[in-house]
Structures are given as structure tokens and as C-alpha cells.
Chains A and B, each alone.
Chain A
Amino acid sequence: QQQVKQSPQSLIVQKGGISIINCAYENTAFDYFPWYQQFPGKGPALLIAIRPDVSEKKEGRFTISFNKSAKQFSLHIMDSQPGDSATYFCAARYAGGTSYGKLTFGQGTILTVHP
């Protein structure tokens, strides 16, 4: 059962453009929503994260937009660069019960930024 749905599966953007990756969730027990960036042959690295009491968080060129009522959140990469080419995963963390603290991940988006 997939608890976090991520789209698109792949994305091609020109250098300088905006990359947008979307995630949707069903479980209202999630309390923390991180995004991870993974380069080939490496483990995922935490990129940026947001809590549901905030609608937007920005760190440099990376912005998370969060819509609690729609149960959706998205990653925006402004002025996309070839070095941003990687696989991006959204995730959601369980807030309570026996699953407290566990992350469930989306299926990933392969981003390619053309120079």
C-alpha cells in the first residue's frame, strides 16, 4: 500500500527553468515531510523539510509548498542547474503509535537538467 504518491516519475528541464515535483498523501498521522536528493551510486541526502503547520519553506533555490487541506506538498527548484540532475524523493513521517518516527517514501523522480 503506497502511502505517498509522487509525480512525475521523470522530468526534463532546461537550465534556468523551474523544476516542480509533487507528492500527495492520505494518512493524516504524518507530521513531517522531508525531501531527499540522491545522486547515482550514492545514498539519499536530506535536502529540505517542512512541518504541516507551515505552508512554505525556502532554502536557497529550493522551496517546499505544503497544502494541508489537499494533503499535497511539492518541491520547486528555481533556476535549475545541470548539477541538480538527480533522483528526488519525498517522504512523510508517522507521528504516533507503534510507527512513530518511521518514514514512508514516494517512488522518486528522476530530474534531468539540460545545459
Chain B
Amino acid sequence: SQTIHQWPATLVQPVGSPLSLECTVEGTSNPNLYWYRQAAGRGLQLLFYSVGIGQISSEVPQNLSASRPQDRQFILSSKKLLLSDSGFYLCAWSVREGSPLHFGNGTRLTVT
């Protein structure tokens, strides 16, 4: 069966520090991968998605970037965090575009 792993579960970082969140998927090949952000009391906002290694599409202009160095690895990064980057970051995968989306358990990021 397929599983998705996200880490860390929680993270507290000072303003201006770098960020690296990692997500890996097991049990499937060539998944579509997604990064979502969930702000407190708000819905899910799609940040990035990838249909293959090195292929990244950005949905919203922001202080973050994403990379996919391996087939089942998706990384969310920032060179300098802002207070507004605080939130709950969720990685998700699907077999292909249009198939059901499966989420990881998220990373709670607090920028202080």
C-alpha cells in the first residue's frame, strides 16, 4: 500500500532563517506531488505541484520554492522565512492528475 511521510511534524523558526520541509511517498511510482498550506481557520491553498522529477509548477507568488530531486521526494524550501510563512504545510500525492488526492500529516511551522 502507498504511504506518505512528512517531517518534521512541528517546527519553530526565527524570521530570516532558511526552511526545508521534506515529503516522501512509498509504494507508488511517478506520483503527482503537491504542497498545500493551511492557514489557521482557512482552507487549503495549493502552493506547488509536480508531475515528475525536476518539474515544478508554482500556483502563487511567494517566499517559498519547491524541488523534486527524486521521483518520490518533494521538498519545500525558503531562503529567508517571513512571519507570514507560519502555517500548516501539507504534502499530498495522487496517482495522476484527476485521481484522488492523499495527504500527509503535515508540518506545523511557526515563524517567530
Contact = CB atoms under 8 A, between A and B. Distances in A.
A77 interface: no
A6 B44 CA distance: 13
Contacts of A89: 43-44
B18 to A, nearest CB: 24
A97 B50 CA distance: 16
Interface in B11-31: none
A49 interface: yes
B105 A41 contact: yes
A106 B45 CA distance: 10
The 3 closest A-B pairs by CB, nearest first: A101-B97, A43-B103, A101-B98
B42 A108 contact: yes
Contact of A107 (B43, B46, B98): B43
A44 B44 contact: yes
